[in-house]
């Protein structure tokens, strides 16, 4: 009997070929660009030894039970693993692969884009041009002015690879200081992924707590994992400590920011603007969502890692992780459960 694997999406060419060369496997695949049906997944997981999932597929007790005791590996096509019940995997000795390294540049690029868009009112400005309003708003010294990036203090909520790669990109813009908060407040981060923390000519310091980060930052970058302790970490209290000219960018997971609190902070001008790649309850965001009524909010549909090159790499790495899990070999990147 062939080893069965389930793959919850059609993969990009090279990754699909790599998967398909394994003729010893029974490959059951959701061949669609739409998210995999939950009922299809539960039904087909039965008897699988490996499952390759997207971040939209919940990996929980229900799925693991549906699969059965032979399940050895979950390979997630993502850096975030909040859709995976890690405890449930650990209990069963199931390995978890993910793709935290190959998407760093793409997400850091998008983070810089969102910072600049929020500060320089790019969405609001272009919206006016598209609406034919330019004739009514001739050049004016204060037209569409926003805060400038140089000399800013940038506060990172979470300071892993993506945060550090973002900082690396911001240094040439002339920021003056960076502070960061991790799960160990006040402690310096252990990993200097790109050697910039040591080498940068500006101070880069751990914050004592979120209050300090909120009150001292001109730019807040949300780049931490979603966990019970980071859910709604950015709340009404957080916004009330932020500077009126500060912007906040979220490239991590929607629920880290309390959406109602953000709408209120923007409406009451407690902060200057926001740039979001993720939001609570995505993708179910309709055009009448209250946040979209806020002109200083830029929202894009979870496209942080969406460069052609990165998505190809994520697909290939996910397949490699899956295969490594089946063969008890080292993965490209494995979550320590
Ligand atoms: C994207 O959000 C990811 O986790 O890869
Ligand atoms: C948390 O995500 C961190 O980067 O420390």
Q: What pLDDT sits at residue 243?
A: 98
Which residues line ligand 1 at a C-beta cut-off of 6 Å? 55, 78-80, 103, 304-305
- Best residue for ligand 2 mutational test, from 183, 194, 221, 252 (most atoms within 8 Å of Cβ): 183
Task: From 123, 179, 99, 108, select the one nearest 297 (Cα to Cα).
Answer: 123
Residues of the chain under the 50 pLDDT cut? none
CB 224 within 8 A of CB 158: yes
| pLDDT for res 33 | 77
Atom nearest to 99 CA in ligand 1: 5
* Best probe residue, ligand 1, of 252, 305, 313, 314 (max atoms within 8 Å of C-beta): 305
Kindly report the number of other CB atoms within 10 A of residue 269's CB atom.
9
Count how many Cα atoms sit within 13 Å of the Cα of residue 163 in the half-sphere of its side chain: 26
Do residues 38 and 6 make contact, with C-beta atoms less than 8 angstroms apart? no
Q: Tell me, what's the pLDDT at 213?
A: 98
Residues with catalytic roles: 302
Measured from the CA of 252, which atom of ligand 1 is nearest? 2
C-alpha pair distances (Å), 203 with each of 111, 198, 243, 268 = 21, 10, 20, 32
pLDDT of amino acid 135: 98
Confidence (pLDDT) at 263: 98
Q: Does domain 3-102+309-326 have CATH number 3.40.50.720?
A: yes
160 Cβ closer than 6 Å to some ligand 2 atom: yes
pLDDT at site 1: 85
The model's pTM = 0.95
pLDDT of the residue at 34: 86
Ligand nearest to the CA of 161: 2
Ligand 2 centroid to Cα of residue 235, in Å, is 19
Report the atom number in ligand 1 closest to the C-alpha of 302. Answer: 2
Q: For ligand 2, what atom is nearest to the CA of residue 163?
A: 4
Beta bridge partners of 76: 53
- Spacing, Cα 9 to ligand 2 middle (Å): 29
Ligand closest to CA 224: 2
Q: Ligand 1 atom 5: the closest Cα is on which residue?
A: 78
Beta-carbon contacts of 290 under 8 Å, excluding residues fewer than 6 positions away, are: 263
- Which among 56, 103, 276, 315 is the best mutation to test ligand 1's pocket, defined by most ligand atoms within 8 Å of the CB? 103
Paired with 6 in beta bridges are 28, 51
10 Å CB burial of residue 229 (0-12, 13-18, 19+) is exposed
Q: How far is 221 from 213, CA to CA, in rounded Å? A: 10
Q: Is the CB of 81 under 6 A from ligand 2?
A: no
Kindly tell me the sign of the dihedral angle through the C-alpha atoms of 315, 316, 319, 324: negative
Comparing CA positions, the residue from 42, 84, 41 lying closest to residue 66 is 42
Residue nearest to atom 1 of ligand 1 (CA): 78
pLDDT at residue 327, rounded to an integer: 97
Does residue 221 contact residue 157 with C-beta atoms inside 8 Å?
A: yes
Q: Could you tell me the CATH superfamily of domain 104-299?
A: NAD(P)-binding Rossmann-like Domain (3.40.50.720)
CA dist 265 and 274 (Å) reads 10
Q: Which residues in the chain are classed under CATH 3.40.50.720? A: 3-102+309-326, 104-299
Element housing 113 (H / E): helix 104-119
Which ligand 2 atom lies nearest to the CA of residue 183? Answer: 5
> Which tens digits make up the pLDDT trace of 182-234?
999 999 999 999 999 999 999 999 999 999 999 999 999 999 999 999 999 99
Cβ atoms < 10 Å from Cβ of 210: 20
Binding site membership of 181 for ligand 2 (Cβ less than 6 Å): no
Per DSSP, which regions of the chain are E strands?
3-7, 25-29, 50-53, 73-76, 95-97, 153-157, 177-181, 204-206, 219-222, 247-250, 273-276, 297-299
Strand order from edge to edge, sheet including 219-222 = 204-206, 177-181, 153-157, 219-222, 247-250, 273-276, 297-299
Task: Give nearest CA residue, ligand 1 atom 4.
Answer: 80
């Amino acid at each position: 009997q062939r080893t069965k694997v389930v793959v919850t999406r059609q993969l990009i060419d090279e990754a699909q070929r790599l998967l398909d060369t394994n003729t010893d496997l029974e490959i059951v695949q959701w061949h669609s660009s739409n998210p995999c049906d939950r009922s299809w997944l539960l039904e087909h997981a039965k008897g699988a030894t490996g499952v390759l999932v997207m971040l939209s597929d919940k990996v929980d007790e229900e799925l693991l039970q549906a699969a059965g005791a032979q399940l050895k590996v979950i390979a997630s096509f993502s850096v975030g693993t909040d859709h995976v019940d890690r405890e449930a995997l650990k209990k069963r000795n199931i390995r978890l692969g993910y793709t935290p390294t190959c998407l760093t540049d793409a997400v850091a690029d998008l983070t810089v884009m969102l910072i600049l868009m929020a500060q320089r009112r790019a969405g609001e400005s272009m919206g006016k041009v598209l609406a034919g309003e330019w004739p009514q708003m001739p050049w004016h010294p204060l037209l569409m002015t926003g805060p400038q990036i140089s000399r800013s203090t940038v506060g990172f909520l979470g300071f892993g690879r993506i945060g550090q790669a973002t900082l690396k990109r911001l240094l040439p813009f002339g920021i003056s200081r960076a502070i960061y908060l991790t799960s160990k407040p006040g402690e310096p981060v252990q990993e200097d992924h790109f050697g910039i923390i040591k080498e940068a000519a500006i101070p880069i310091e751990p914050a004592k707590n979120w209050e300090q980060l909120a009150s001292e930052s001109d730019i807040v970058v949300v780049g931490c994992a979603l966990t019970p302790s980071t859910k709604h970490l950015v709340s009404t209290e957080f916004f009330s400590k932020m500077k009126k000219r500060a912007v906040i960018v979220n490239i991590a997971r929607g629920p880290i920011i309390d959406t109602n609190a953000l709408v209120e902070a923007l409406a009451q001008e407690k902060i200057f603007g926001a740039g979001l790649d993720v939001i609570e309850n995505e993708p179910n965001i309709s055009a009448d969502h209250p946040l979209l009524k806020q002109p200083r909010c830029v929202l894009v549909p979870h496209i942080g890692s969406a460069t052609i090159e990165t998505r190809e790499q994520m697909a290939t790495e996910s397949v490699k992780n899956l295969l490594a899990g089946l063969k008890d070999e080292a993965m490209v990147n494995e979550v320590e459960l």
